[in-house]
Amino acid sequence: MPSVSVIIAVFNRAATLQNCLNSIFEQTAQPLEIIVCDGGSTDGSREILAANSARLAYWQSQPDRGVPEAWNIALAHATGEWVCFLGADDRFAKSNTVATLLRAASDPAINYVSGQAIMIDDLGRERRVVGTPWDWEQMKRYQHIAHPGSLHRRELFTSYGNFDESYAIALDYEFLLRVGRNIHAAFVPEPVTLMGMSGQSNTHAWRAFRENLRLQASHPEIGAAAAAINYAIAAAKQVARTAIRRV
């Protein structure tokens, strides 16, 4: 079984962190290398990590500059052939999720595997399902893949560098656009993660749109004009979703 490093960035997520960890502990594909970087939580998250420390390959709790720095710190400790990122309010959908992802990656040419994510609100209700098969032309318009729980061959980071810390929210999208046509992807047509909606991409949607605009405008295959159009479409959809929720 290929080795997998699971990376979690945490900051004040005591209410969901143990469920996230449990979903990793319960995976049939074992052992998994679990690496957690906590940004100096004060709500009990650090104590949860300490209580689970025997099952963690590496963890730390100290102030950082956010998810991008936390992920980059964790990558320095990752030794798995594959690397997976979960939010502290996410969890794997099933106990065999990682095994299913690895089966989808059996072709040596595959360097990225994703699936679907079910977005769950604070009351545990399913809001929507996101994530479709990798399509480069579609990725140049917006991030349509579900990143939490997806698998990256570690050599991608060796070849293309770590996450750009100037993007607080769109860091995963920026990385995937940077790799671009060199992504050779597989897709699992089922929920891979149950994804909490308290992450920054949901709670700070407009900042995410602005970051997407900046990174798309600087990309040689997209450019400023197309980026502006993509921003306008994303903004219109966000306004429509907000209006629907208020009805």
- pLDDT score recorded for residue 247: 58
- The type of residue at 108 is P
The domain ranges of the chain are 4-197, 204-247
pLDDT one-digit tens code per residue, 150-177: 999 999 999 999 999 999 999 999 999 9
- pLDDT score recorded for residue 245: 66
- The Cα 31–Cα 55 span in angstroms is 10
- pLDDT score recorded for residue 240: 86
- pLDDT score recorded for residue 117: 97
Residue 15, classed as helix, strand or coil, is: helix
Q: What is the DSSP string of 34-97?
A: EEEEE---SSSHHHHHHHTGGG-SEEEE---SSHHHHHHHHHTT---SEEEEEETTEEESSTTH
pLDDT one-digit tens code per residue, 178-229: 999 999 999 999 999 999 876 545 558 899 999 999 999 999 999 999 999 9
Q: Is the dihedral of CA 171, 191, 138, 153 positive or negative?
A: positive
| Average pLDDT value for residue range 114-139 | 93
Which of 3.40.50.2300, 2.10.70.10, 3.40.50.300, 3.90.550.10 would CATH assign to domain 4-197? 3.90.550.10
Helix 67-75, helix 171-179: angle, nearest 10: 50
pLDDT one-digit tens code per residue, 59-116: 999 999 999 999 999 999 999 999 999 999 999 999 999 999 999 999 999 999 999 9
- The type of residue at 222 is I
- pLDDT score recorded for residue 1: 61
Residue of 241 and 102 predicted with greater confidence: 102
**Host H or E run for residue 126:** strand 126-130
- pLDDT score recorded for residue 203: 55
Q: Tokens for 49?
A: 């990590």
**Choice among 24-38, 46-60, 140-154, 190-204 with the minimum mean pLDDT:** 190-204
Q: Which residues, including other chains, have CB under 8 Å from residue 155's CB and lie 6 or more apart?
A: 111
Q: Give the global pTM.
A: 0.93
